[in-house]
Amino acid sequence: MHLNNINNNIEISENESYYQIKILEKSNTRKNWNKGLAEIQFVYNDENKIEEVSQKLLFYTDSHTINLIHEGDILLLSSKISQIKNKGNPGEFDALLYWKTKNTMLLSFFDQSDFSILRNEPPSYKNSIENYLTGILEKNLPKSQIGLAKALFLGDKSALTTETTSSFSAAGAMHFLAISGLHIGLMIFVMLYVFRVFSRFISRNHATIIILLFIWFYAYLIGFPPSVVRSVFMFSLITLGSVFSAQSNQLNLLCFSAAILLIINPWYLFDIGFQLSYLAMFGILLTYTKIQGFYDFKNKVFRYLWNGTALGLSAQIFTIPFCLYYFHQFPNYFAVTNLGIILMSGILISFGAGLFVFSWSPALSVGIGFVLSLLLFLLVEFIGWIEQLPGAVSKGFEISELELLGLYTMILLILFAYMFQARSVYKYILATIILSSLSFHRYNNLNENHLVLFNSNKLCFAIHSNKEIYFFYDDLKMNEYKYRRILESYEKCYPGNISTISIKDKNMNYMIQNTKISIVDNKNKKYLILNDIKHQIVYDNKTKESQEINQIGMPWVKGLKTTLNKAIFYPL
């Protein structure tokens, strides 16, 4: 970890500075702001000295500017660069840790007026292939399905709509949007079947080499995500072992592949995809056979369905605690979702590959594209149906690191109890402790009464009372959509029926849980009064601190004792 983090640190200036950057990645989602990744090569400091550095930069730019730059371009950028920070709102995704695992700590917003292009680079071989494959999808699929198709086949989730992501998350199918071992396994299965058909013309060893080269090239094309590298690496080891007639222990291979990846990049240890991928595999290797043995169906169809269900259950055993820890919710119908995905995924992958392979033929590509479009439509409809089922998602889980460790300890104890054939009463006691602990936390969050001020560019706060959420925002009603992400994240931790209220230029009075809450707008000053205790919301950075009144500064306000650089809770 220490060796991996040796790099040149930049002293962040409050003012704009000049930087030479190289564009590494970019996404063009046709949204107002598009993100990309760059490498800072040189810094021009205030003394007109050039400092050579090598640090990654996360940047956001508008939809027009993103079309002016390409991967590999060298830019001279005049912009303010800051550290990536979390806002500290309840249920918020840990962006700081996510980008830290990618060795990226810096952030910048810029537009066309903030840079000049020093050197244009022609598209790389990798980018040319990506653009070619994306063009095939855009030519043969409806525009509404391009984002989903790019996520499933090219590993690019930047064009997914918020609605699609939310639906897949609620149904417990987010793992299907991220290319993982399931996709790689299906690709290998399809290729093995094709080569078996043409076994007269190609030997087994040659087919094996072709498959290995293809899956490693595919991993390179989609950027070597940890879950894909894990599955490709393991398959390569198993395949090479079979070629040399060596016995293989899959648990050993799993641990060996993890060790190699962590030596290459130790920050993988904190990558969510890495964690969930390996935990799912541990669950499958340790529990699949035992779960499968619960029932022995004679009918082939029922046996196939049960095997798929057992596979999904075994994969979830070790991933559930981390999912609750990161995402604060649990999809109750995940077993049904996984079974549907297992039934559809093989066909989807086959037709997706067929579309790329036969794109040279207009007739074949149109036919395959039509079938693929129909399959994607059925997939979305299936996920939407799961999402709309009563009680599809249980929210309100907020567990600490210590509780996360306790959950895994209990799961391991249950697993050992089965392995050593302990009395059933011990297994039931441990399982009851786990379920009771989670239910107790969820019950507290559902019934907690508080007021929370959010870290946002505009004043917004929520009152949680008796499973009701009253969300107030200092903005026009037409801009309510801007606060959707804050509210959705909060509602994952503290579920309830949501009511939204605009307090733009308004005075209001409420009585909630015997607490008098008033909002006063007086001479461009906004006050929040809780049981006659007045809090002034300070928007102006020039406002001096007062000893007579409680002052709460907005995130950019400095010099006050209390600022909204994170969420602030007031119990009711």
The string of pLDDT tens digits covering residues 120-179 is 877 778 878 888 898 999 899 998 888 888 888 888 887 787 788 888 888 888 878 777
pLDDT of residue 485 exceeding 70, the answer is yes
DSSP letter string, 152-191: HHH---TT--HHHHHHHHHHT-HHHHS--HHHHHHHHHHH
Q: Tell me the C-alpha distance between 162 and 165, whole Å.
A: 5
Residues 272-276: what's their mean pLDDT?
A: 87
Residue pLDDT, tens place only, 211-255: 889 989 988 888 888 878 888 888 888 777 766 666 678 888 889
Residues 533-540: what's their mean pLDDT?
A: 85
Residue pLDDT, tens place only, 24-71: 888 766 667 888 999 998 888 766 678 788 888 999 998 888 888 888
Residue 28: predicted pLDDT: 67
Least confident window among 371-380, 436-445, 476-485? 436-445
Residues 65-81: what's their mean pLDDT?
A: 88
Residue 509: predicted pLDDT: 85
CA dist 373 to 341, 343, 369, Å? 16, 17, 6
> Cβ(469)–Cβ(498) under 8 Å?
yes
What does the block give as tokens for 65? Answer: 């500017």
The continuous run of DSSP H or E covering 489 comes out as helix 484-493
pLDDT band per the 50, 70, 90 thresholds, residue 75: very high
Q: Tell me the C-alpha distance between 318 and 283, whole Å.
A: 6
Residue pLDDT, tens place only, 6-28: 555 566 666 667 889 999 888 76
Residue 259: predicted pLDDT: 92
| Fold designation for 3-122 | OB fold (Dihydrolipoamide Acetyltransferase, E2P) (2.40.50)
Q: What's the gap between Cα 550 and its chain centre?
A: 38
Q: What's the gap between Cα 52 and its chain centre?
A: 33
Q: 542 CB contacts (<8 Å, ≥6 apart)?
A: none
Residues 320-346: what's their mean pLDDT?
A: 87
Work out the mean pLDDT of the chain and round it to a whole number: 84
Q: Tell me the C-alpha distance between 416 and 402, whole Å.
A: 21
Through-space distance between the first and last CA atoms of the chain, rounded to whole angstroms: 44
pLDDT of residue 422 exceeding 80, the answer is no
pTM of the model: 0.82
Quote the strand ranges of 15-49, DSSP E.
17-26, 33-44
Q: 473 CB contacts (<8 Å, ≥6 apart)?
A: 458, 459, 460, 479, 480, 483, 500, 501, 502, 503
> Cβ(329)–Cβ(395) under 8 Å?
yes
Parallel, antiparallel or unpaired: strands 508-512 and 515-522: antiparallel
Show me where the domains of the chain are located.
3-122, 128-395, 401-446, 450-571
Higher pLDDT, residue 47 or 113: 113
Q: Tell me the C-alpha distance between 485 and 471, whole Å.
A: 13
| Max mean pLDDT range (117-126, 139-148, 506-515, 548-557) | 139-148
pLDDT band per the 50, 70, 90 thresholds, residue 378: very high
94: left (phi over 0), alpha (psi -120 to 50) or beta: beta
> Cβ(252)–Cβ(236) under 8 Å?
no
Higher pLDDT, residue 566 or 10: 566
Q: Tell me the C-alpha distance between 566 and 403, whole Å.
A: 23
Q: Tell me the C-alpha distance between 355 and 188, whole Å.
A: 17
Q: In terms of Cα–Cα distance, which of 250, 147, 135, 233 is closest to 184? A: 233
Residues 348-375: what's their mean pLDDT?
A: 90
pLDDT of residue 453 exceeding 90, the answer is yes
